[in-house]
């Protein structure tokens, strides 16, 4: 009882926070909320203009005073966009190339990052330096060598020709390698005591624990391959092998008579699936962080 009374007396005797401290806390909170609002406006206004523009006429889009909402909904823009190019076929091609490409890239990234962290072999650090050098090479520099290689393998205008050059990207390996280095070595040591080899340890231990990093790398890969325009345009020769980003260019009029409402509607065909994938994968990111936490 005396101990409780002494503790209560100490709590009562403690001075209240100074007004300056409360003012600094309130100011930091206001600045934080203001930054969030500015970020939302910078990101949200173009998206809002895209959505509303898909429901407008050209006159409303090019009005001297910005017209944020359409006077009446031009739902025909979506039908005209869908009929202006074979978007049904483009959806199939984009799904196939994105899923195959992202799966190959994540597989290569996980295995390479695991080898760079947990497998000892000569000149391992030199391999990582070469990986960093690969990050500095612009994609445009390797387009001609990649095309000549794909042409020699007779894979032009095929799904394999679209997927193979992007099957291994240095950034994904670099991201996972840095995350794997933060994992406690006790996990791998315990798996070796239990008789697990490298493949078993990678699949059953490292990959589940590193689920947040793997999910992040997978999401970045899916978005990049879904939005890829230049390489599928170069390596395909027929319209039935084109992807969605290329389909949007079909709606542009070279004489300047482009119906931008139709183009914006077609752009939504490309953007909406990526948003849905992100919303679906977000819960895996959160659950992966919770499941991958290591308790000491």
Q: Domain containing 110 — which CATH number?
A: 1.10.3720.10
Mean pLDDT in residue range 67-85: 87
- CA gap 236, 249 in Å, rounded: 15
Half-sphere exposure of 257 (CA within 13 A, CB side): 1
What was the pLDDT predicted at 109? 92
241-276 pLDDT, tens digit each: 999 999 888 888 766 678 888 999 999 999 998 888
Higher pLDDT, 293 or 62: 62
Instruction: Let me know if residue 41 belongs to a domain.
Output: no
pLDDT of 215 over the 70 cut: yes
Mean pLDDT in residue range 134-146: 88
Q: In degrees, to the nearest 5, what angle opens at C-alpha 238 toward C-alphas 237 and 242? A: 95
Instruction: Let me know if residue 26 belongs to a domain.
Output: no
Mean pLDDT in residue range 163-183: 87
What was the pLDDT predicted at 279? 82
Residue 180 in contact with residue 114, Cβ under 8 Å?
yes
Instruction: Let me know if residue 131 belongs to a domain.
Output: yes
Mean pLDDT in residue range 136-153: 91
| Residue 209, domain extent | 85-291
pLDDT of 152 over the 80 cut: yes
Higher pLDDT, 108 or 255: 108
Q: Look up the pTM and report it.
A: 0.81
Per-residue exposure over 247-273, b if at least 16 CB sit within 10 Å of its own CB, e if not: bbebbeeeeeeebbbbbbbbbbbbbeb
Higher pLDDT, 290 or 271: 271
What was the pLDDT predicted at 288? 46
Length of the chain: 296
Instruction: Let me know if residue 204 belongs to a domain.
Output: yes
Higher pLDDT, 1 or 32: 32
What percentage of residues in the chain have a pLDDT greater than 90? 29
Mean pLDDT in residue range 57-73: 84
Instruction: Let me know if residue 276 belongs to a domain.
Output: yes
Question: pLDDT-derived band of residue 121, with 50, 70 and 90 as boundaries?
Answer: confident
Pure H helices in the chain: 2-13, 19-53, 58-61, 76-84, 87-118, 124-135, 143-152, 159-163, 170-180, 185-193, 198-201, 207-209, 211-226, 230-235, 244-249, 260-291
Mean pLDDT in residue range 92-102: 94
Instruction: Let me know if residue 77 belongs to a domain.
Output: no
Instruction: Let me know if residue 171 belongs to a domain.
Output: yes
* CA distance readout (Å), 134 to 35, 169, 219, 266, 291: 35, 9, 21, 34, 33
Mean pLDDT of the chain: 83
Instruction: Let me know if residue 11 belongs to a domain.
Output: no
Mean pLDDT in residue range 47-68: 86
Task: Give how many domains the chain has, as a whole number.
Answer: 1
Question: pLDDT-derived band of residue 216, with 50, 70 and 90 as boundaries?
Answer: confident
Give Cβ neighbours of residue 78 (< 8 Å, ≥ 6 apart): 54, 265, 268
What was the pLDDT predicted at 12? 52
């Amino acid at each position: 009882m005396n101990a409780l009374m002494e503790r209560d007396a100490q709590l009562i005797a403690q001075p209240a926070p100074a007004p300056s401290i409360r003012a600094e806390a309130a100011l930091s909170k206001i600045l934080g909320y203001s930054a969030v609002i500015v970020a939302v406006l910078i990101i949200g206004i173009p998206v809002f203009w895209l959505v509303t523009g898909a429901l407008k006429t050209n006159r409303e889009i090019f009005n001297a005073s910005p017209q944020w909402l359409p006077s009446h909904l031009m739902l025909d823009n979506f039908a005209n966009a869908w009929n202006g190019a074979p978007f049904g076929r483009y959806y199939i091609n984009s799904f196939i190339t994105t899923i195959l490409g992202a799966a190959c890239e994540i597989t290569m990234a996980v295995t390479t990052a695991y080898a760079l962290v947990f497998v000892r072999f000569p000149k391992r650090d030199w391999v990582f330096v070469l990986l960093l050098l690969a990050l500095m090479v612009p994609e445009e520099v390797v387009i001609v060598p990649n095309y000549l290689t794909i042409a020699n393998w007779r894979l032009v205008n095929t799904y394999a020709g679209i997927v193979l050059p992007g099957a291994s990207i240095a950034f994904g390996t670099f991201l996972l390698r840095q995350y794997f280095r933060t994992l406690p070595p006790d996990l791998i040591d315990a798996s070796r005591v239990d008789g697990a080899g490298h493949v078993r340890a990678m699949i059953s231990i490292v990959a589940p624990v590193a689920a947040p990093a793997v999910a992040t790398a997978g999401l970045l890969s899916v978005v990049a391959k879904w939005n890829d325009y230049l390489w599928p345009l170069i390596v395909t020769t027929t319209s039935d092998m084109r992807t969605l980003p290329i389909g949007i260019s079909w709606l542009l009029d070279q004489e300047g008579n482009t119906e931008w409402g139709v183009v914006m509607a077609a752009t939504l065909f490309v953007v909406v699936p990526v948003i849905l994938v992100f919303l679906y994968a977000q819960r895996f990111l959160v659950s992966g962080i919770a499941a991958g936490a290591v308790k000491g």
